[in-house]
Amino acid sequence: MTTDQAQSTPSFISPAIPLNLMAEYPPAGTPLKLGVMASGSGTNFEVVAQAIADGKLNAKIQVLIYNNPGAKVIARAEKFGIPAILLNHREYKQREDLDSKIVETLQQYDVDWVIMAGWMRVVTQVLVDAFPDRMINIHPSLLPSFPGIRGVEQALEAGVKIAGCTVHFVRLEVDSGPIIMQAAVPVLPNDTSETLHARIQVQEHKILPQAIALAAAQRAGLMLNC
């Protein structure tokens, strides 16, 4: 499937902030201070950085934390002039030790909101407690179906006809927590995990910046007509 085909496949997105209002949330003058965590390619990191650069999201990415040396996301951070810090999980004995270092780094960079954009590590209470209701994850399935690793493959194996993605607040249990936004796409005959994931990612890139704005607006107590 080409990117054009993936773009034009029918989809359904849960209601969110009208796109033309996104830049208003939170109110101008108080940009969200984001820390993004990513493990791999970083396309979701890039759409958030681009939404900010385009003035569609009133935020600033203070820091990128990545855990895999050589991850493609590093080049994307360079492109936007965003500091990228490697915290390699292989160098930490316990998950809590890594998460303590992550919290320390996020605090050093004065981060208010944490965005897990393809962060492929299980988080501990140490991290969850440091950013209560200010930590967001994106996952390539319609949660609560197919949490954990290989979400797209799990959906294909289950034979579902509708797949999708979810942005949600992070809780201790893997891929759980209140849902902020979802988008659904059809599973087409002959789909492979690659073709289905590509179709899902088109939707991920639409909903992640919107969900960040929506979560911040909700937290600020702004009532939205959605």
Q: Residue 144: is the preceding peptide bond cis (ω within 30°)? A: yes
**Within 92-121, which residues bind ligand GAR (CB under 6 A)?**
117-118
| Binding segment toward ligand GAR, per CB under 6 A, in 29-37, 42-50, 58-66, 182-190 | 42-50
Question: Any contact of residue 201 with ligand GAR (CB under 6 A)?
Answer: yes
Q: Kindly list the distances between the CA atom of residue 159 and the CA atoms of 62, 163, 198, 225, in Å, as whole numbers in the listed order.
A: 41, 10, 18, 35
Question: Any contact of residue 26 with ligand GAR (CB under 6 A)?
Answer: no
Q: Name residues whose C-beta falls within 8 Å of residue 130's C-beta, 6 or more positions apart in sequence.
A: 103, 106, 107
Beta strands in 113-178 (DSSP E): 113-116, 135-139, 162-169
Question: Any contact of residue 139 with ligand GAR (CB under 6 A)?
Answer: yes
Active-site annotation holds for 205: no
**Within 140-169, which residues bind ligand GAR (CB under 6 A)?**
140, 151, 165
Question: Any contact of residue 180 with ligand GAR (CB under 6 A)?
Answer: no
Minimum distance from CB of 30 to ligand GAR (Å)?
27
Question: Any contact of residue 177 with ligand GAR (CB under 6 A)?
Answer: no
Distance between CA atoms of residues 153 and 146, nearest Å: 9
Question: Any contact of residue 216 with ligand GAR (CB under 6 A)?
Answer: no
The stretches of the chain forming alpha helices (DSSP H) are 3-8, 43-53, 73-79, 95-108, 125-130, 151-158, 193-219
Question: Any contact of residue 209 with ligand GAR (CB under 6 A)?
Answer: no
SS3 category, 48: helix
Minimum distance from CB of 104 to ligand GAR (Å)?
23
Q: Please identify which residue in 13, 33, 41, 176 interacts with ligand GAR, judged by CB under 6 A.
A: 41
Find the catalytic residue in 139, 168, 197, 205.
139
Question: Any contact of residue 42 with ligand GAR (CB under 6 A)?
Answer: yes
| Cα-Cα-Cα-Cα dihedral sign, residues 57, 47, 214, 10 | positive
**Of 28, 131, 35, 120, residue with least CA distance to 82:** 35
Residues that bind ligand GAR (CB under 6 A): 38, 40-44, 117-118, 138-140, 151, 165, 175, 201, 204
Catalytic (active-site) positions? 139
